[in-house]
Structure 1
Amino acid sequence: MQLTKAVLRMAHTADKISLESITKWSQEYKNDQVGRLAGSVFQHGNMNELLINRAREVADSHVFNNKIDPEGAPVTDQKRSGRCWLFASTNLLRLNVIHKYNMKECRLSPAYLFFYDKLEKANYFLEQIVDTYKMDINSRLVQYFLSDPIGDGGQFTMMTHIVDKYGLVPYDVYPDAFNATKSMIMDKFITSKLRSYAKTLRDKLRSGASIDADKLEMQHDIYRLMCIFLGEPPKPDEQFTWDFYDKDKKFHSVKATPKSFVSENVDFKTSEYVSLLNDPRNPYKRVIQIDRLGNVFGASPVSYLNMDTSVLSQAVVNRIKKNKPVFFGTDTPKFMDTKRGIMDIDLWDYKLIGYDQRSLDKASRVLYGDSLMTHAMLITGVHLDEDGKPVRYRVENSWSDKSGHEGYYTMTQDYFNQYVYQVVVEKDDIPELVPLLEDKQVIHLPPYDPMGALA
């Protein structure tokens, strides 16, 4: 039955804020002693500091009964860039090098991966523009591509694509340039270039002209700009020399190419890694694929195995017990205290001012735009209770040792359940789940879905 405008008007009388309502609310606030006290306090101080729940602060210990040894050193700092996924990845991979050479500390180069990721993302963007040139420029998909074609963020799978094609180098071989640590200007400049290229490609394709020469020149121009901003990196098969001391002061000199460095020193087999996802909007025990999300054109799509959080938690515990860290993706910095190094939903007594931080469940937060994966870090420890259940996790961040507890954070199990979306493990950590990866009934999500967010 179709409702008339009159009926709709009767059913919805609060369509405007009336001055009478404001007068009433004002008087109610004047009579609200608790609200006025809160206002008096919060208008002169930091609410998030004043509402700290001391009981939770004390309970969220930085002591763990299961921790990998050694942990990576030094604590890293992505500075003013969105490279968390590359720092989490290189912090994961450096542990193999530390073990191999008995090192006290080691840094691999996020900047090297950053360079080639940007180069490949630019080409991936151009290919998507070519593939969608018949679509209206205002279509949601085309506008998604145009919105942020070479953003700093990425996914673990995208990192593996770069490592497989270009390899990896130690930090000393390709250290950070200024624009790696503060990428905003570079990103804006190249993004503007790519948008102009998009117009050229769409116009030519719509007129029936060839674009091969144009696209090759565009690739060349982006490479040149990346070299200007970040410095020219080693080529994948170009030999470099890496000199260093181990923790016993013994000198080492390693000669390798970026690609051979991965196979001979990092021992990283990308095909063995699996991303477990917790997306409560979709069925569990199913593969979820994010269409048209990637960096290296033609490489495998970004995909996950969707599971309940209990499975993700147990996979983390199993891996820590094997003395291996865990790459994970979360919604950060929600309920994260950078001063104390704590990730705990109940660290603040927000209910004292009438705010319920649990008013939405995890699925609803994703559906209504209140949560998505925004940051990648490592889990390096877990504290288990007497029944062997995880209580809290030790998290290695990439915001320097001035952030958190000397660079580390304590994350509660409750926080894990509510705000962790992804953990990356190896197939031998989850042998019982491996057959699920072969399921042909893949759930496809568009790149602008929250699960397509880049950490």
Structure 2
Amino acid sequence: MEIKKSFLENMESDFKSNRANRVAQRAAMNNGIVEASVNRFEGDSNRHEFNVNLKDTEIRNQKRSGRCWMFAALNVMEYKLCNKYNLKNFELSQNYTLFYDKLERCNYFLESIYKTMEEDLDSRLVSHILTDPMGDGGQWDMLKNIIKKYGVVPKYSMPETQNSSDTTSLNTYLTKLLRMYAKNLRKANEDNATSEKIEEMINSYMKEIYNVLSIALGTPPKYIDFEARDKDDNFISYKNLSTTEFYNKFIEMDLDDYISIINAPTNDKPYYKSYTVQFLGNVVEGDAVKYVNVPIGDMKKSILRQLQDDEPVWFGCDVGQFFNKKGSRLDLETVRVDDLLGVEFDFNKEDRLDYKESLMTHAMVFMGCNYDEENDKIDRYRVENSWGKESGYNGFLVMSDEWFDEYMYQALINKKFLSDKIIKAYEEKPIELKPWDPMGALAKISDL
């Protein structure tokens, strides 16, 4: 339908005649849409006080990188390490895991190009693979694969670099290389190159990638020393450990004991079934990304059990939805953009997923909750973020139960806190989802 001049004139007249519109316009133009919509009187129900409260560890800062999923997972591991050895603080290297994720992800990309040689270049699948060859985002299983293969190291063994703290340039030039490699491989295939020739080309490309990563991020160590001083001033020292030995011996977290559960209430994903996503991963020979879809109530119960057992919970959500950053709140009552703009956002969770309005964007850690025992429900959640101490409430956010229902998507839970029904579903052969399914989203948000 054509927008006519008469329509515009009528709309302008109607808009200006409405006092609420004029007030909202001034507020939004001077303060921005989100800040103008904040309800300052909301907050009593979302206090930073919790009756299930894990001990604080140091707040980390992922800076200008999309490594939230790594930071969140390593934060959980640091918590376990500090508890085991009575440490006030100990930081694991996020640069180390970044190096090997980039290396493996480049190889995974080239393998995906190899597998799709016979697909048309403009097919949806090839287009999807080429759209974002190298970002920072990830899923839990991808980090699990890196740690199983390469272990972890203390941060002092492989500290941050400018390119790990701000991955923009590295990702840009890796993307250029990978798309060029894809072009060369497909052209070689069109010219009837042998499989041996193709493999030789991939091997050559991976050598270049290794050199690029070493220049930008540093060369990862193979052996490290574990040294720290505990809260009682006792010195801890273990020398010449392999990187996998360090993880297996000092961090009590069997990666195979943990299952990713999701809540995706869409018609194509029945509950208590396991799912994976085609062409999603990093380590070619590693475990597939896999999770079980469960009702939201099951997810809450398992999170509560794990927190009550003094264990943090890695999780993924859509952090930008109605987020009051200054007030450190994830809830549905503080940011009332609908009131400001005079509109209604008529979506339920299923609609948001189906119509690409929401998906997992960020990974953080639950470090506590407020449990209403009388009504057997959690009122609010204590969230440890990775945007530094200056962000939020000393680095923490508070999430309301209502916001959890709408925008919480994934949680990592120890099997001992899950029902037999969920474990059985996880052990079954997963249903394969298309590469562009919203459950294939990668957590990658840096400071908003």
Which TM bucket (shorter chain)?
over 0.9
Q: Pick from 27, 52, 64: which aligns with 1:66?
A: 52
Q: Pick from 132, 135, 139: which aligns with 2:123?
A: 139
1:190 aligns with 2:174: yes
In structure 1, how many angstroms separate the alpha carbons of the residues matched to 2:114 and 2:412?
Answer: 33
In structure 1, how many angstroms separate the alpha carbons of the residues matched to 2:344 and 2:78?
Answer: 37
In structure 2, how many angstroms separate the alpha carbons of the residues matched to 1:148 and 1:406?
Answer: 34
Counterpart of 1:98, as a letter, is: C
Q: Pick from 419, 436, 441: which aligns with 1:448?
A: 436
Offset of residue 355 of structure 1: 4.2
- Give the structure 2 partner of residue 202 of structure 1: 186
1:289 aligns with 2:276: yes
- Give the structure 1 partner of residue 295 of structure 2: 308
- Give the structure 1 partner of residue 387 of structure 2: 399
In structure 1, how many angstroms separate the alpha carbons of the residues matched to 2:276 and 2:262?
Answer: 11
Offset of residue 358 of structure 1: 4.4
In structure 2, how many angstroms separate the alpha carbons of the residues matched to 1:243 and 1:285?
Answer: 44
Q: Pick from 141, 149, 159: which aligns with 1:157?
A: 141
Aligned partners of 1:291 and 1:301 also within 8 Å: no
Question: Relative to 1, partners in 2 of residues 1:391 and 1:358: Cα closer, same or farther, differing over 3 Å?
Answer: farther
In structure 1, how many angstroms separate the alpha carbons of the residues matched to 2:92 and 2:344?
Answer: 39
What's the % identity of the aligned pairs? 35
1:24 aligns with 2:19: no
In structure 2, how many angstroms separate the alpha carbons of the residues matched to 1:145 and 1:309?
Answer: 32
Offset of residue 33 of structure 1: 1.3
In structure 2, how many angstroms separate the alpha carbons of the residues matched to 1:355 and 1:33?
Answer: 13
The 3-state SS of whatever aligns with 1:276 is: strand
Counterpart of 2:395, as a letter, is: G
Counterpart of 1:213, as a letter, is: E
Aligned partners of 2:24 and 2:341 also within 8 Å: no
The 3-state SS of whatever aligns with 2:201 is: helix
Q: What per-residue deviation string (whole Å, max 9, x for no partner) do you get for residues 104-147 of structure 1?
A: 11111111110000000000000000010111111111111111
Question: Relative to 1, partners in 2 of residues 1:408 and 1:273: Cα closer, same or farther, differing over 3 Å?
Answer: same
In structure 1, how many angstroms separate the alpha carbons of the residues matched to 2:371 and 2:345?
Answer: 25
- Give the structure 2 partner of residue 262 of structure 1: 247
In structure 2, how many angstroms separate the alpha carbons of the residues matched to 1:362 and 1:326?
Answer: 22
Offset of residue 46 of structure 1: 3.4
Offset of residue 254 of structure 1: 2.2
In structure 1, how many angstroms separate the alpha carbons of the residues matched to 2:343 and 2:232?
Answer: 54
- Give the structure 2 partner of residue 389 of structure 1: 377
Offset of residue 348 of structure 1: 2.2
In structure 1, how many angstroms separate the alpha carbons of the residues matched to 2:349 and 2:109?
Answer: 31
Q: What per-residue deviation string (whole Å, max 9, x for no partner) do you get for residues 230-263 of structure 1?
A: 00011xxx32113222122222222221100111
Moved more, 153-162 or 95-104: 95-104
Question: Relative to 1, partners in 2 of residues 1:106 and 1:382: Cα closer, same or farther, differing over 3 Å?
Answer: same
Counterpart of 1:294, as a letter, is: G
Aligned partners of 1:173 and 1:242 also within 8 Å: no
Q: What per-residue deviation string (whole Å, max 9, x for no partner) do you get for residues 320-369 of structure 1?
A: 00000000000012222222211112112334334456410011111111
1:35 aligns with 2:21: yes
Counterpart of 2:15, as a letter, is: Y
Q: Pick from 402, 407, 430: which aligns with 1:414?
A: 402
- Give the structure 2 partner of residue 425 of structure 1: 413
In structure 2, how many angstroms separate the alpha carbons of the residues matched to 1:240 and 1:300?
Answer: 26
- Give the structure 2 partner of residue 436 of structure 1: 425
- Give the structure 1 partner of residue 257 of structure 2: 272
Q: What per-residue deviation string (whole Å, max 9, x for no partner) do you get for residues 72-105 of structure 1?
A: 2x10000000000000010011112101211011
The 3-state SS of whatever aligns with 2:41 is: helix
In structure 1, how many angstroms separate the alpha carbons of the residues matched to 2:262 and 2:336?
Answer: 30
Moved more, 116-125 or 357-366: 357-366
- Give the structure 2 partner of residue 107 of structure 1: 91
In structure 2, how many angstroms separate the alpha carbons of the residues matched to 1:315 and 1:261?
Answer: 29
1:311-326 superposed matches below 5 A? 311-326=298-313
In structure 2, how many angstroms separate the alpha carbons of the residues matched to 1:140 and 1:346?
Answer: 40
- Using CA pairs under 8 Å that are at least 6 residues apart, name the structure with larger relative contact order, 1 or 2: 2
The structure having more radius of gyration, on CA atoms, is 1
Counterpart of 2:217, as a letter, is: L
- Give the structure 1 partner of residue 446 of structure 2: none
Counterpart of 2:264, as a letter, is: D
In structure 2, how many angstroms separate the alpha carbons of the residues matched to 1:97 and 1:352?
Answer: 47
Aligned partners of 1:337 and 1:404 also within 8 Å: no
In structure 2, how many angstroms separate the alpha carbons of the residues matched to 1:348 and 1:190?
Answer: 38
In structure 2, how many angstroms separate the alpha carbons of the residues matched to 1:270 and 1:327?
Answer: 13
In structure 2, how many angstroms separate the alpha carbons of the residues matched to 1:426 and 1:301?
Answer: 18
Q: Pick from 306, 321, 325: which aligns with 1:334?
A: 321
- Give the structure 2 partner of residue 98 of structure 1: 82
Counterpart of 2:7, as a letter, is: S
Counterpart of 1:284, as a letter, is: Y
Offset of residue 415 of structure 1: 0.8
Offset of residue 51 of structure 1: 2.7
Number of equivalent positions: 435
- Give the structure 2 partner of residue 8 of structure 1: none
Unmatched segments (≥5 aa) in structure 1: 1-14
In structure 2, how many angstroms separate the alpha carbons of the residues matched to 1:16 and 1:366?
Answer: 31
Q: What per-residue deviation string (whole Å, max 9, x for no partner) do you get for residues 140-168 of structure 1?
A: 11111111112100000000000000000
Offset of residue 47 of structure 1: 3.6
Moved more, 161-170 or 44-53: 44-53
Aligned partners of 1:330 and 1:422 also within 8 Å: yes
In structure 2, how many angstroms separate the alpha carbons of the residues matched to 1:347 and 1:287?
Answer: 36
- Give the structure 2 partner of residue 88 of structure 1: 72
Aligned partners of 1:276 and 1:306 also within 8 Å: yes
In structure 1, how many angstroms separate the alpha carbons of the residues matched to 2:33 and 2:202?
Answer: 52
In structure 2, how many angstroms separate the alpha carbons of the residues matched to 1:185 and 1:197?
Answer: 18
Aligned partners of 2:66 and 2:137 also within 8 Å: yes
- Give the structure 1 partner of residue 354 of structure 2: 367
